[in-house]
Amino acid sequence: MTRLSGITPSGHVQLGNYLGAVRRWAAEREPADLFFVSDLHAMTTPHRPQRLRALTREQFAVLLAAGIDPDSLFVQSDLAGELGALNWILECTCGFGEAARMTQFKDRGAGQHSVRVGLLTYPVLMAADILLQGATEVPVGSDQDQHVELARTLARRFNAAFGEVFAVPRAVVPKTAARIRDLSDPGRKMEKSTLQSPGVVFVLDEPDVIRRKFRRAVTDGLDDVRYEPDTRPGGANLLEILAACNDISPYAAASAAGTYAELKEVVAEAVIEQLRPVRERARELLDDPAELDRVRSRGAKRARDRAQPRLQAALRVTGLR
Ligand code: ATP
């Protein structure tokens, strides 16, 4: 079993990414698990080159700092050649209607003046990511389920038409993890691509910035702290964050809380302590570009070594070699 998980450098890594995904990736890692920073996927909407480069480095450093094994980690564009080749082959097996049916394409493209072809075809590139690494399981949230289903369909179709080259992957539901909400707008989930929200806490934020963000968190206007996610989402979010940091239940966190003002201080300190080692280690790595580049090249080589035999087989059986 090989599991593949990715994170897109569409913004700075935020607390939800860390508590909901990265921390678990590091803690529950099996030897064959693979992780990657999906910088090619960050180009489906307008982007700035310098920012993309910096965010990719930052995410790579944060993943390493969080304890992901360097040998299991790579940057997607370091395999741009291999992925580009397989992407084309897979695009030539994928129906236009099949790609256009993806609900994420419809949602993200809706109301846009102009939509990039990359937004339509990126699920095919995602299939190339999965198939080239031989991943058999892809842990994804419900918004990506359909894309893994497409990868599954394309793998089966390819194998049936040309011969068994690819393992057929399946989506797996990650174990339930905290779903962190935006502190200033608890109606929406915390997201790294949200621009300028004071309610998004970043993993590399300094402690004082984190304190300020929590002090301004929206709560319910009531004095007593109770865990009621449906009617009091703001307070419930703070309790869930505290619970995730301290490995307790949100109910236990609520019963130990005083007022909301006190709770905000306590949560801020718990988050600061939770993130401190990651932030410090990530900063060290970012201050040592040569070391970071070395780790990155090694990860890239391993990923290419995994990809090449499958790519060569795909080129051969499709008549390109
Ligand atoms: P974007 O703003 O680009 O959609 P995002 O912050 O939602 O980014 P992704 O790159 O889509 O993050 O997801 C990376 C991982 O982080 C996924 O496993 C996803 O489930 C997890 N994740 C993202 N946001 C949260 C959140 N608010 N709470 C818990 N987990 C989250």
Going by the DSSP 8-state scheme, the letter that residue 42 receives in this structure is G
Three-state secondary structure of 122-189: HHHHHHHHHHHCCCCEEECCHHHHHHHHHHHHHHHHHHHHHCCCCCCCEEECCCCCCCCEECCEEEEE
Output the pTM of the full model: 0.94
Give the helix/strand (H/E) hosting 278: helix 260-286
- Over the chain, what is the mean pLDDT? 95
Q: How much distance in Å is there from the Cα of 16 to the middle of ligand 1? A: 6
Out of 4, 5, 7, 17, give the residue to mutate to test ligand 1, the one with the largest number of ligand atoms within 8 Å of its CB. 17
Q: How much distance in Å is there from the Cα of 97 to the middle of ligand 1? A: 27
Within 163-259, residue ranges assigned H as helices are: 207-215, 233-246, 250-256
- Enter the tokens of residue 186: 């608890």
pLDDT above 70 covers what percent of the chain? 99
Strand 73-75 and strand 34-37: pairing? parallel
Asked if the domains 4-172+289-317 and 181-284 are classified in one and the same CATH topology, the answer is no
pLDDT in tens, 145-192: 999 999 999 999 999 999 999 999 999 988 766 789 999 999 999 999
What is the model's pLDDT at position 141?
Answer: 82
Residues 143 and 179 sit within 8 Å (Cβ to Cβ) = no
pLDDT in tens, 60-70: 999 999 999 99
Q: How much distance in Å is there from the Cα of 191 to the middle of ligand 1? A: 6
Atom 2 (ligand 1) nearest CA: 193
- Enter the tokens of residue 299: 């990860």
For the chain, the domains span 4-172+289-317, 181-284
Q: Is 72 helix (H, G, I), strand (E, B) or coil?
A: helix
State which amino acid sits at residue 267: V
Q: Which of 226, 217, 235, 220 is nearest to 254 (CA)?
A: 226
Going by the DSSP 8-state scheme, the letter that residue 14 receives in this structure is B
Out of 191, 194, 202, 245, give the residue to mutate to test ligand 1, the one with the largest number of ligand atoms within 8 Å of its CB. 191
Residues 314 and 308 sit within 8 Å (Cβ to Cβ) = no
CATH code for the domain defined by 181-284: 1.10.240.10
Q: Is the pLDDT of residue 102 over 90?
A: yes
**197 band by pLDDT with thresholds 50, 70 and 90:** confident
Q: Cβ(16) to ligand 1 under 6 A?
A: yes
pLDDT in tens, 254-279: 988 889 999 999 999 999 999 999 99
What is the model's pLDDT at position 223?
Answer: 76
- Enter the tokens of residue 63: 């993943």
ipTM above 0.90, yes or no: yes
Task: Return the minimum-mean-pLDDT range out of 26-35, 38-47, 102-111, 293-302.
Answer: 102-111
pLDDT in tens, 203-217: 999 999 999 999 999
The class that CATH gives domain 4-172+289-317 is alpha beta
Q: How much distance in Å is there from the Cα of 224 to the middle of ligand 1? A: 31
Residue 319, phi then psi, degrees to nearest 5: 90, 15
**73 band by pLDDT with thresholds 50, 70 and 90:** very high
